[in-house]
Amino acid sequence: AWRKRIRQAARLLLDTASADWCTFFIWEPEGNTLARLMEYGTAIWDTPEEPELTLSRLPTLRIVLNEQRVTVLRSTDQNLPPFERLLFEPIGPSAQLILPLVFKARTVGLVRLYDINPARRFTSREMALASTMASQAAIALENARLVHDLQRSLEEQREMQSHLVRIARFSALGELSAVIAHQINNPLTTILADAEMLTQDIPPDDPSYESAQAIQRAGLRAKRVVEQVLNMARYEEQVRPLDVNQTIRETIEVVGPLIAQNRITLEVDLDPDIPPVAAIPGQLEDVWMNLLINARDAIPPDHTNGLIAIRSRSLDSRGMIEVRVEDNGQGILPEHLDRIFDPHFTTKPRGTGTGLGLYICRQIVADHKGEIKIDSTPGKGTHVVVRLPATFELSAEEAYGPYSDRR
């Protein structure tokens, strides 16, 4: 209904001002932008207008909105600011009558009337009548805004509900992984105990001795993986100095086999002199795990030289540490980079990605007063850089403790 009313107002405006074309814009004061709502007229332009105008570069339009002043612009005006001259590019030479749309003393948008004759002079009577018609159009425009706001509110509500469902699912998966890890841990303890007894009972020169040692080594590795799953499922809330290299090593123990089974080479280059960072135990591991899994998924199965590298180093001059995760996969399209950290945004096939991995990474890094940046070239690969502030309160071993002592 509101679209019909705006079209009716557009016809009246064009007839009143004897113009060729008009465009309605909704004002978004929060974002300092004008959003194009509707166009109407008889002229045909080679290039459509921009869907959104940024007011910071358009002083004349700001005056129309803030002072509710009717204004005329002409493409022949030599004093036009550079960005306002761009307003004529899609239309070509023309004169524009710009009217504020005012509803209950509040500016809700504006309408631009175009005449393809740049020398056209709008009379005082035409401008006064057009202003009256614009007031009627403002009512329809305000209804359009209400509908737009309602639709946006419903979309946000649906997105929030979906987000809560996903969060609940992740929470349930975390609890389930902890239960499974506990259940695996019990028989593992028996296996390790029996393997140790076998190595003590079997003579070293017995052919079975090496097999017993292999069982013991495999059991210890499985126990470490179980401990890592339990650590990641059980966050501590207290921030304390942590050894970043150790969090990377422990993440690799879990993710490394997943990368290797795809025949991808994993290079690890960790600066041994890197200082600790103040962090919440378990959360940095989440960041490295998400980044490494994303890197693995970005390398196609038919890639013959798949490579992932994770490196750490100290940025002494800035008092920060840096972790880089690089891959030579398919890369990210430029139009996707701006949305890469948005919740639920994913380019993975349906059912294989939640779109929350990088969003969670950014939240964790931001909570730790750090920064995360992504640089990618389609067809060549992606580089992710995480920087975190260093702390020098404790040594890494004092902060984290030896790996074998952690439970």
Residue 244 in domain: yes
Range of the domain at 48: 2-154
Kindly state whether residues 134 and 263 are assigned to the same domain: no
Rounded to the nearest 10 degrees, the angle between the axes of helix 124-201 and helix 2-17 is 140
Phi, psi of 178 (to 5 degrees): -65, -40
Q: What is the CATH number of the domain that holds 16?
A: 3.30.450.40
Rounded to the nearest 10 degrees, the angle between the axes of helix 283-298 and helix 207-233 is 110
Burial class (CB in 10 A: 0-12, 13-18, 19+), 250: buried
Can you give the pLDDT at residue 405?
35
Evaluated on CA atoms 292, 297, 299, 305, the torsion sign reads: positive
Q: Which is nearest to 115 in space by CA: 132, 98, 129, 135? A: 98
Residue 48 in domain: yes
Kindly state whether residues 136 and 246 are assigned to the same domain: no
Kindly state whether residues 10 and 136 are assigned to the same domain: yes
Kindly state whether residues 142 and 243 are assigned to the same domain: no
Can you give the pLDDT at residue 31?
66
Evaluated on CA atoms 352, 356, 358, 360, the torsion sign reads: negative
Residue 213 in domain: no
Can you give the pLDDT at residue 402?
38
Q: What is the CATH number of the domain that holds 351?
A: 3.30.565.10
Note whether 273 and 314 are within 8 A (CB). Answer: yes
Residue 125 in domain: yes
Distance (Å, whole) CA 399 – CA 61: 58
Q: What is the CA angle 266-339-28, rounded to 5?
A: 165
At 55-111, the pLDDT tens digits run 888 888 888 888 988 988 888 887 887 778 777 776 777 888 999 988 888 888 888
Sequence-distant contacts of 170-178: CB under 8 A, at least 24 apart: 170/356, 174/232, 174/233, 175/233, 177/229, 177/233, 178/229, 178/230, 178/233, 178/234
Q: List the pLDDT tens digit at each of the 407 positions of the chain.
A: 567 777 777 888 888 888 888 888 888 777 688 888 778 777 655 555 667 788 888 888 888 888 988 988 888 887 887 778 777 776 777 888 999 988 888 888 888 888 888 888 888 888 888 888 888 778 877 776 676 666 777 777 777 766 666 565 566 666 666 677 777 877 888 888 888 888 888 988 888 888 888 888 888 878 877 776 666 655 556 788 999 999 999 889 878 888 998 899 999 999 999 999 999 877 898 899 889 999 999 999 888 899 999 999 999 777 899 999 999 999 988 888 888 887 767 766 655 555 677 888 888 899 899 999 999 999 999 999 999 999 865 444 444 443 333 33
Residue 230 in domain: no
Largest separation between any pair of C-alpha atoms in the chain = 111
Kindly state whether residues 256 and 389 are assigned to the same domain: yes
Last residue of a domain, one of 95, 123, 154: 154
Can you give the pLDDT at residue 381?
94
Residue 228 in domain: no
Kindly state whether residues 150 and 248 are assigned to the same domain: no
Kindly state whether residues 147 and 257 are assigned to the same domain: no
Kindly state whether residues 145 and 256 are assigned to the same domain: no
Q: Where are the alpha helices (DSSP H) in 202-241?
A: 207-233
Last residue of a domain, one of 106, 135, 154: 154
Residue 231 in domain: no
Kindly state whether residues 246 and 394 are assigned to the same domain: yes
Distance (Å, whole) CA 401 – CA 1: 68
Kindly state whether residues 372 and 260 are assigned to the same domain: yes
Q: Which is nearest to 66 in space by CA: 78, 56, 75, 77? A: 56
Residue 207 in domain: no
Distance (Å, whole) CA 198 – CA 341: 52
- List, in order, residues 6 or more apart from 80 with CB less than 8 Å away: 73
Can you give the pLDDT at residue 320?
92
| Strands 320-327 vs 381-389: parallel, antiparallel or unpaired | antiparallel
Kindly state whether residues 120 and 20 are assigned to the same domain: yes
- List, in order, residues 6 or more apart from 173 with CB less than 8 Å away: none
Q: What is the CA angle 2-90-103, rounded to 5?
A: 30
Last residue of a domain, one of 117, 136, 154: 154
Can you give the pLDDT at residue 396?
40
Kindly state whether residues 260 and 361 are assigned to the same domain: yes
Domain count across the chain: 2
